[in-house]
C-alpha cells in the first residue's frame, strides 16, 4: 500500500491562494478590457436629456410624416452610398466610431451617375455609426445607421 502524506495547512493555503488568485486575475482582466473598450458616456446629464424627450418624439413624428426614404450602405471602396427618395435634397453627415477610438469623420457627398449620393471620403476598416442629415427647403430628415 502507498503511504499518503496527510492533508495539512500548507495544502489548504495553496488551494485558497490559487483559487483567489484565479478570481482576482479574471476580475482584473475583465475590468481592464471593459475600461479600454468603453467609449464614454452616452449623455452628459440624463435628467437634462429626458427633458428633451417630447421634443425628440415630435421631431420623429414630423420626419415620419414627410415620408422620405433614406437608405445607406458601403460601396466596394468603403464610401458611404445613400439612396434618398427626395430629389435635389442636400445631404450632410459624419461617421463616428462606436467606441470613440477614432475621431469623427466629416462626410461630403456628390451625386453619382446612378442617382445615388456617394461620400467623397472612404471609411477606414471597422464598424462606423453614420449620422446623416437630409434637407430640402425647411424639411429635414435624420438617419443614424451602423455600417461595417
pLDDT in tens, 91-131: 999 999 887 778 899 999 998 888 889 999 999 998 899 99
CATH 2.60.40.10 describes domain 68-147: yes
Which pLDDT belongs to residue 40? 65
* DSSP tag of 131: E
Mean local confidence (pLDDT), 37-46? 74
Reduce the secondary structure of 43-108 to three states and give it as a string.
CCCHHHHHHCHHHHHHHHHHHHHHCCCEEEEECCCCEEEEEECCCCCEEEEEEECCCCCCCCEEEC
The closest alpha carbon to 140, from 100, 105, 90, 87, belongs to: 90
Asked if 39 and 99 count as a contact pair (C-beta separation under 8 A), the reply is: yes
pTM: 0.65
- Annotated domain spans of the chain: 7-38, 68-147
Amino acid at each position: 500500500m502507498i503511504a499518503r502524506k496527510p492533508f495539512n495547512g500548507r495544502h489548504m493555503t495553496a488551494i485558497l491562494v490559487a483559487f483567489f488568485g484565479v478570481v482576482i486575475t479574471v476580475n482584473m482582466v475583465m475590468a481592464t478590457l471593459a475600461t479600454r473598450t468603453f467609449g464614454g458616456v452616452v449623455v452628459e446629464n440624463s435628467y437634462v436629456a429626458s427633458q428633451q424627450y417630447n421634443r425628440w418624439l415630435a421631431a420623429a413624428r414630423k420626419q415620419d410624416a414627410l415620408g422620405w426614404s433614406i437608405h445607406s450602405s458601403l460601396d466596394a471602396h468603403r464610401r458611404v452610398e445613400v439612396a434618398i427618395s427626395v430629389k435635389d435634397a442636400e445631404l450632410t453627415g459624419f461617421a463616428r466610431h462606436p467606441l470613440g477610438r477614432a475621431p469623427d469623420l466629416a462626410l461630403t457627398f456628390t451625386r453619382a451617375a446612378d442617382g445615388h449620393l456617394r461620400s467623397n471620403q472612404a471609411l477606414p476598416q471597422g464598424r462606423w455609426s453614420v449620422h446623416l442629415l437630409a434637407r430640402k427647403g425647411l424639411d429635414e430628415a435624420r438617419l443614424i445607421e451602423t455600417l461595417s
